[in-house]
Structure 1
Amino acid sequence: MSKRLAGKTALVTGATSNIGRAIAEVFAAEGAHVAVSGRSAERGGEVVDGIRARGGRADFVRADLDGTAAASRALAEEAARVLGGRIDVLVNNAGIYPGDTTAATDEKTFDRVYAVNVKAPFFLTAAIAPAMAQAGGGAIINLGSWIAPLGIPIGALYSSTKGAVETLTRAWAAEFGPSGVRVNAISPGVVQAFAPGDEHPAEAMMKGTPAGRTGTPDAIADAAVYLAGDESSFVHGIVLDVDGGRTTTAVIAA
């Protein structure tokens, strides 16, 4: 069986849990050498150990992406080092989600969420994309959210950051695409990591959708493999909705 990412190197931010972990694991299973990045060395070590136990290649790179250009540059440099000098695929996944209403959000929280969700991937892309272009190409995958295009009454701050990331995706596709660097995004729907059969309050948010259920991190990871691989060589600047039809379709029962 051929591996779709064989010979590629990849940096996945926020890779110690949930969607980021699933992406790191499936990238490694598809043959990539993965830099697993996050704040917790303990959790990062667990992800790396699991990948290696299954025959994959992975290394942990600790990073606290606080929005400063220095933190993003440091991660880019260390990830390139552990990956043998180059990064073929960057997944900007790390983010934080405060679910407060607008009136309940203070300025400190506002600045922190924009720092982590927008400034950090901005400066990480600035550090990595030119090197990709110089090396002949690469792929950048950003993580958006279903609540960027579809307004809901809580989480305005978070959704605005994801709207910014999706706009950056299109701008970066125009900026870096001619140099061989493809930039795309995935917009996950309601995704929960829990055992099959378990009930979760988030299930209610998927009622009336074609899927009729929440998604799993693996569904997002599979989409990331497509955007990272050669099969999507003609795909630039898209936001791929992987949301069970949440933002596009309403199923109306008779």
Structure 2
Amino acid sequence: MTERLRNKTALVTGSTSNIGQAIAEAFAAEGAHVVVSGRNERRGAQVVEGIRASGGRADFVAADLDGSADASRDLAERARAVLGGRIDVLVNNAGVYPAPDTAGTDEETFDRVYGVNVKAPFFLTAAVVPAMTEAGGGVIINLGSWIARLGVPLGSLYSSTKGAVETLTRAWAAEFGPLGVRVNAISPGVILPPAPEGSDPHPGEVMMKGTPAGGVGTPAAVAHAAVWLAGDESAFVHGTVVDVDGGRTGVAVIAA
């Protein structure tokens, strides 16, 4: 533990599993007091228990970020209360990924995906930033996706929401940077938890053939980038999207 986030507080949405969990664990390992948030209380309690067992500080705050401004404001208020009155770092990670084709997407699904992936982080950020600026500054980290810039079949709805998140990242950096709040994003590629030995290849692995990395990434790879963006080492980084995708979007892929 290097304690790069010592005395910092952080709220990580959608952190009861996968990438969000890895970010929460990494933040706590670096000394931050973390609020783990999500809909599943059992999984949230398990993540908190694991962090505490490793000597970190964490609490679970249940939240269903459906896109309503009230839900986002409520989470901000409850997280601040748990964290002693302030949130230094907000990670907008929660998201959903249904993948119907465009013609097969009904209005209810469209509204739900945009509600969770765009409206929820929009109103959560709006609820968190004023107190951040009053406290002297803070950090916002948004989670984008590689398919916001590289089209894939059946990805139109989800990828459009992540394109919106990347645009918000730049706009918020311009809006909030002068107030002391840095805003950046991470764009993960194909990220999978480590597979059990002897298991069959995951379909996502095909998408990474011919890339510089040559295979899929793990949630820890994204967490390392989040720690860097949250800490003082990236103090001069504003409005950028950090690609953690094994080179999938930035380098020509050579088919095997």
Superposition TM-score, scaled by structure 1 size: 0.98
Alignment check: 8 A CA contact 1:210 1:250 kept: no
Residue in 2 that maps onto 1:28: 28
What is the count of residue pairs matched by the alignment? 254
CA distance in 2, matches of 1:135, 1:216: 34
Alignment of 1:156-195 (within 5 A): 156-195=156-195
* 3-state SS of paired residue (1:51): helix
Residue in 2 that maps onto 1:249: 251
Name structure 2 gaps, 5 residues minimum. Answer: none
Following superposition, the deviation at residue 2 of structure 1 comes to: 3.1
CA distance in 2, matches of 1:225, 1:111: 32
Task: Say yes or no: does 1:106 pair with 2:106.
Answer: yes
CA distance in 1, matches of 2:142, 2:64: 18
CA distance in 2, matches of 1:165, 1:130: 20
Residue in 1 that maps onto 2:240: 238
Alignment check: 8 A CA contact 2:209 2:255 kept: no
CA distance in 2, matches of 1:252, 1:40: 41
1:47-78, Cα deviation, whole Å (9 max, x unpaired): 00000000000000000001000000000000
Residue in 2 that maps onto 1:129: 129
* 3-state SS of paired residue (2:10): strand
CA distance in 2, matches of 1:166, 1:196: 33
Residue in 1 that maps onto 2:116: 116
CA distance in 1, matches of 2:180, 2:233: 15
- Report which stretch shifted further, 147-156 or 14-23: 147-156
Residue in 1 that maps onto 2:94: 94
Task: Say yes or no: does 1:43 pair with 2:40.
Answer: no
- Report which stretch shifted further, 196-205 or 231-240: 196-205
Following superposition, the deviation at residue 100 of structure 1 comes to: 1.2
CA distance in 1, matches of 2:226, 2:113: 24
CA distance in 2, matches of 1:191, 1:248: 17
| Distance 1:235-1:16 versus aligned 2 partners, 3 A rule | same
CA distance in 2, matches of 1:122, 1:144: 14
CA distance in 1, matches of 2:91, 2:112: 20
Residue in 1 that maps onto 2:206: 204
Amino acid at match of 1:245: G
Superposition TM-score, scaled by structure 2 size: 0.97
CA distance in 2, matches of 1:56, 1:253: 44
Residue in 2 that maps onto 1:58: 58
1:204-253, Cα deviation, whole Å (9 max, x unpaired): 01011000100000000000000000000000000000000000112437
* 3-state SS of paired residue (2:148): coil
CA distance in 2, matches of 1:47, 1:19: 12
* 3-state SS of paired residue (2:35): strand
* 3-state SS of paired residue (1:147): helix
1:144-176, Cα deviation, whole Å (9 max, x unpaired): 000001111211000000000000000000000
Residue in 2 that maps onto 1:138: 138
Residue in 1 that maps onto 2:153: 153
After TM superposition, where is structure 1 displaced by more than 6 Å over at least 4 residues in a row? none
Amino acid at match of 2:15: A
1:112-166, Cα deviation, whole Å (9 max, x unpaired): 0000000000000000011111110000000000000111121100000000000
